[in-house]
Structure 1
Amino acid sequence: MTVSTATNHTSDPVSLGRDRYQAMADRVLGGESISRDEALSILKTPDDEVLDLLSAGFRIRQKHFGKTVQLYFLMNAKSGLCPEDCHYCSQSKISTAPVPKYNILKRDDLMEAARLAAERGAKTYCLVISARGPNERELSAVEQIVPEIKEKYNLDICACLGLLSREQADRLKACGVDRVNHNLNTSEDHYADICTTHTYADRVDTLRNVRDAGMEMCSGGIIGMGETHDDVVSMAFDLRDLGVQSIPLNFLNAIEGTPLQGNSDLSPQDCLRALAMFRFVAPDRELRISGGRELHLRSLQPLGLYVANSLFVGDYLTTKGQAPEADYDMIRDLGFEVTKSTC
């Protein structure tokens, strides 16, 4: 009897890791959900298995989004002057960062930003104000400008205005806002460590008001604020269970003058693991690589798009992004394509 000396690939420790991610992807593609323990294991993936993890995650991304990338454009319509104490934010009342401070911009400025968003190939124009929530003047300004932007530039509109009541959410829906951004930012357990002027429950209530008004919910978080892996996983499951359609994942830009200055020590692999975990937990949700990607992913930014399917093009609220041309080149080099507006 002759015994084969060929090695079965499943006995190879490297292959075992690769097969585990693919088996997990098979289950997700078959309609199953991964467990919290499995999500935690993704965040603990060894560096030399990250490419295997991304390969498995790409199969999930491709099923739901193909090779498309959606572009978003951020407009800081009101800067600084915020009464909240969010520790990561350069616009908060406790920040000493030298950021611009101005009330909500005039119509012409908001329309010019919309023109630039359309010119850059963005699908969605994100209108953001720094505030606990909008006052009547700010809400009225949004109600007036949104129909004009949509008619002239055929852009989807995402409003980020702080905490919202159901009545305010209904007004945003009525004027044509497509979705509202209100990030959970971190887990419920960790929330009091990054903000004391409002609660995690306040943010969840706003998302429910947005949902009940008939708009899409955009909500994500920030990685690198001293949270544990358990915190990141809890946030991912909460976002999934709330039915959030769009998840922006930020990586802390520890701005000097904020309480979290100097706190972030993320590696590119940490960012990729987090993005992959969100893709496995919320397979059919839009996943956006958001603030801090240039700082933390650096030359590995293209790898993030193997699991994420959208980007902000241009600058963020108070920090600079890379040149739009670099994003276009990255998307083209990957063999992906930009999704246009569906308005």
Structure 2
Amino acid sequence: MQIAELGKRASTGESILRSEALAVLATPDEEILDVVAAASKPRFAFFGNRVRVNFLVNLKSGLCPEDCFYCSQRLGSGADILKYSWLPVDEAVATAKAGIAAGAARVCLVASGTGPSNREVGKIADITRAIKTAHPDVEICACAGFLKDGQANSLAESGVDAYNHNLNTARSHYAQICTTHTYDDRVDTVGKARGSGLSPCSGFIAGMGETHEQLVDLAFDLRDLAADSIPVNFLLPFDGTPLKGTNQLTAHDCLRVLAMVRLVNPRSEVRIAAGRELHLRSMQSLGLHIANSIFLGDYLTSEGQPGQADLDMIADAGMVVDGMRPHRTDKAAELVTRRRGAGTTVRPNA
């Protein structure tokens, strides 16, 4: 296999084959720069040197009845995280504005739980309208679990642009990471979002014991679901969860996974999501030559690197924040690491 040829093909919008995707994941470490170079071809062909900055607002933390084995907010979790019900609208909006001031083009409104009630959909709608009134060009992505009939339409009508619902792992591996719902339940919600006109945002978590074949299954399922945005997470092994102590990924593994996803989904926004600081470490900026999107600052229940460090990393890589606003200040970037909802940094167990 000529890895460079895969990049050339993908830069025309053509997805690579399953056998080729598996070969990318099997590439030896000494060829990792060739893998990055190949995946950079479609990345720069479709997104130039721009990096989309996303900002998470944790509207509701913990208290979830689902038992997803990786999640610090799961049923029975012993993880040391903040637990609270819905943020007041004004506090949620103020938090979102801090991220926007730091350069975020998309605000992700996230609430833990199986799925929202209609009243909770109304809360997301109220927050969305308040943010859009002040910042009409900012995209809003909601993430609140499984959607019931009609809820996606209500979100779309309020101004929500996208809905995130990750597949998390392959269909054949799903029972190994969750027992309270199924893979098909997740696929159904992605379909509801797309059917309502919301942009489907869906990705997965690598490092939970899945095989290369299962990672490839995920990449192709996301292609078939027409996911516009694909967040690629790398497992954070929270204490107090069944996957505590799991640490199966190297930095090179993470780059290969990102490259495979990019080459299978060349036109999609590929986002380096949770776990990049832990697993990619000093190679984070190299990941930006494959992915065109990151989260700024902290995640839902774990700390990221400081917001200003993210912005510096983008600049040092020779890239620019997509839609950067001239009024951004370093102070605003600092604020994104001090908002409500961030827990403690997760580090791999020895």
Do both share a fold (TM > 0.5)?
Answer: yes
Q: CA deviation at 1:31?
A: 4.3
1:160-179 alignment runs, 5 A limit: 160-179=143-162
Residue in 1 aligned with 2:171?
188
CA distance 1:249–1:39, change in 2 (3 Å): same
Query: How many residues of Structure 1 are paired with residues of Structure 2 in the alignment?
Result: 324
Q: CA deviation at 1:29?
A: 2.7
Q: Distance in 2 between matches of 1:145 and 1:269?
A: 39
Q: Is this contact kept in 2: 1:114–1:153, CA < 8 A? A: no
Q: Distance in 1 between matches of 2:293 and 2:193?
A: 22
Question: How well do the aligned residues superpose, as a CA RMSD in angstroms?
Answer: 1.3
Of residues 63-72 and 29-38 in structure 1, the stretch that sits farther from structure 2 once superposed is 29-38
Per-residue Cα deviation, 1:38-73 (whole angstroms, up to 9, x for no partner): 101101110010101111111111100000000000
Q: Is this contact kept in 1: 2:53–2:294, CA < 8 A? A: yes
Q: CA deviation at 1:137?
A: 2.7
Per-residue Cα deviation, 1:164-188 (whole angstroms, up to 9, x for no partner): 0230111001100000000000100
**Counterpart residue type for residue 66 of structure 1:** G
Q: Distance in 2 between matches of 1:30 and 1:207?
A: 26
Q: CA deviation at 1:341?
A: 7.7
Look up the SS of the partner of 1:166 in the other structure: coil
**Counterpart residue type for residue 57 of structure 1:** A
1:207-218 alignment runs, 5 A limit: 207-218=190-201
| Structure 1 position 126 matched with structure 2 position 108 | yes
Identity value in percent: 51
**Counterpart residue type for residue 48 of structure 2:** G
Q: Is this contact kept in 2: 1:287–1:310, CA < 8 A? A: yes
Q: CA deviation at 1:22?
A: 1.0
Q: Is this contact kept in 2: 1:77–1:128, CA < 8 A? A: yes
| Structure 1 position 113 matched with structure 2 position 95 | yes
Q: Distance in 2 between matches of 1:176 and 1:245?
A: 18
Residue in 1 aligned with 2:243?
260
Q: CA deviation at 1:120?
A: 1.1
Residue in 1 aligned with 2:186?
203
Per-residue Cα deviation, 1:74-124 (whole angstroms, up to 9, x for no partner): 011100110000000000113111211111110121111111111110001
Q: Is this contact kept in 2: 1:166–1:210, CA < 8 A? A: no
Q: CA deviation at 1:28?
A: 2.2
Q: CA deviation at 1:145?
A: 1.6
Look up the SS of the partner of 2:150 in the other structure: helix
**Counterpart residue type for residue 156 of structure 2:** K
Of residues 138-147 and 231-240 in structure 1, the stretch that sits farther from structure 2 once superposed is 138-147
Q: Is this contact kept in 2: 1:184–1:220, CA < 8 A? A: yes
Q: Is this contact kept in 2: 1:77–1:104, CA < 8 A? A: yes
| Structure 1 position 302 matched with structure 2 position 285 | yes
Residue in 2 aligned with 1:75?
57
**Counterpart residue type for residue 250 of structure 1:** N
Q: Distance in 1 between matches of 2:109 and 2:227?
A: 19
Structure 2, unpaired ranges of 5+: 326-350
* TM-score normalised by L of structure 1: 0.92
Residue in 2 aligned with 1:55?
37
Q: Is this contact kept in 1: 2:52–2:294, CA < 8 A? A: yes
Structure 1, unpaired ranges of 5+: 1-16
Residue in 2 aligned with 1:91?
73
Q: Distance in 1 between matches of 2:299 and 2:231?
A: 12
* TM-score normalised by L of structure 2: 0.91
Moved over 6 A (4+): none
CA distance 1:23–1:76, change in 2 (3 Å): same
Of residues 325-334 and 280-289 in structure 1, the stretch that sits farther from structure 2 once superposed is 325-334
